[in-house]
Amino acid sequence: MKCKACGHWNRIEVNKLFIEQETSETKVKAIIPYYEPLKVETCKKCKKIIAEPTELIKIVKRYAKKAFWIV
């Protein structure tokens, strides 16, 4: 997990959970993976708290800054 304060990548121990979310179509199921930290984790570089067991973590894909167009 990347620290928001310093940008350092840290490894944390988690449980993987799957949570079902509602969709507009009745026959389609959307199952989203979430991660639950097992203990309070701190950044190894700046020592700030980056994860707590009370919150769930969702991995989100960031889009590239440049857009590519196909013509």
pLDDT digits (tens, 9 = 90+) for 13-64: 999 999 998 888 888 888 989 999 999 999 999 999 998 999 888 877 666 5
pLDDT band per the 50, 70, 90 thresholds, residue 71: very low
Question: Is the pTM value of this prediction over 0.75?
Answer: no
- Domain count along the chain: 1
Distances (CA, A) of 63 to 27, 37, 56, 67: 29, 26, 22, 9
Rounded to an integer, what distance in angstroms lies between the CA atom of residue 31 and that of residue 70? 31
Segments forming the whole domain that contains residue 18:
1-71
Residue 31 is inside which H or E element, if any? strand 30-37
41 forms beta bridges with: 51
